[in-house]
Amino acid sequence: MNAKSILLSTIFAIFTLSTFAQLKVDRYGRIGMGTNWPNPGYKCHIKGNLLLTTYPASPFVEFQFKVQPGWAILGTNVDHIAAWSPWVNFNKLYAEQYYRLSDASFKLNKAAIDSPMRKLSELKPYKYDMIDRYITESGDSLQRTLPQYGFISQEVEQSLPEIKITDDAQEGKLMDYDQIIPLLVAGIQEQQKSVRALEAQIAKLMATNQSSSSNSSLNGSGINNGSESNNSMDLCKLFSCSPNPFSTTTQISYYLNSTVIHAELRVYDMQGIERTVINLDTNQGNSYVNLQAQDLPVNGTYIYALFVDSQIVDAKTVIKQ
């Protein structure tokens, strides 16, 4: 092979490697892996997935970056990812939305939360100054404090020992605040049951004593609740139903003023158990609803009460026979 042929072959080989190489560095220092045209907006452009690993060390750690249609996947085989740096400690994360795994197929031994209000009462919320480390624009590492509301991880561990709500990572003890949310919901529900029971007792007292309470704020035609500023209650009225007693249907009339946001009619038995709730039309003026005998379990005396914006207005009795 003459020198000319060798030179041409060498030039062709260099051109081929430069054009089709799997690792390419362009004249601006941009690196392309799996691509011959690195994106000019990035110093490193990888076409495909990226794996960071300590293999063949044992045990080894892998950090995976994967791209596929519709998804970008980030994960590790050790089940912990810390957004952390020795210069600033833990980093702040910003995102539009954040979802947690909550699929039923992953959850075993489901049970209602026992005594949620008691558990919540044992938690101690604080206002405190949180130590925050940060890097200035000039590259200096500084420390400041930021005012926050929250809990102390060590105290929450003692108050809620039955769940895993804290974890040790890097330089501190972290807490899963999301696990407080089910406690709050269960606590509100438990408290609401107590409120409903008290409202039933109030309705019973109003229904049985309205005829003799001439010197109180309760009366048979309506209630002002003793407050001139409570416009949603002022002049709202509940009227006697007809027919009473009834066997199939009875009509209950009421009057609402223009400021009412929500109104409902609740029916209780004489033990204070809520038997049915009817949401009412909040248009101003007189209106009525029909109470069906089939909505009440047995014959006997019941109490029906008008609630306006979560406050009781009046209550009366009705007999199903």
Considering the domain architecture, whether residues 170 and 269 belong to the same structural domain is answered as: no
Question: What is the CB neighbour count within 10 angstroms for residue 313?
Answer: 25
With the CA atoms of 150, 155, 159 and 165 taken in that order, what torsion angle do they form, in degrees rounded to the nearest 10? 70
Considering the domain architecture, whether residues 90 and 186 belong to the same structural domain is answered as: yes
In a domain, 237, yes or no: yes
Considering the domain architecture, whether residues 132 and 199 belong to the same structural domain is answered as: yes
Considering the domain architecture, whether residues 304 and 240 belong to the same structural domain is answered as: yes
What pLDDT does residue 246 have? 93
In a domain, 46, yes or no: yes
Considering the domain architecture, whether residues 183 and 136 belong to the same structural domain is answered as: yes
- Nearest alpha-carbon partner for 204 in 300, 275, 298, 270: 270
Which residues does the chain have with pLDDT short of 50? Answer: 17, 211, 214-231
Question: What is the CB neighbour count within 10 angstroms for residue 308?
Answer: 27
Considering the domain architecture, whether residues 204 and 88 belong to the same structural domain is answered as: yes
Considering the domain architecture, whether residues 140 and 79 belong to the same structural domain is answered as: no
Q: DSSP alpha helices (H): ranges in 73-151? A: 116-122
User: In which domain, by residue range, is 160 found?
Assistant: 84-96+115-210
What pLDDT does residue 226 have? 36
Q: Give me the residue label for tokens 């005829």.
A: 211
Considering the domain architecture, whether residues 127 and 159 belong to the same structural domain is answered as: yes
The answer to whether 290 and 253 are in contact (CB under 8 A) is no
In a domain, 103, yes or no: no
Give the span between the Cα atoms of 49 and 47, in whole angstroms: 7
Please state whether 243 falls in left (phi above 0), alpha (psi between -120 and 50) or beta: beta
Q: Which one of 153, 177, 210 terminates a domain? A: 210
Give me the number of domains the chain comprises: 3
Read off the CATH number of the domain in which 316 is found.
Answer: 2.60.40.1930
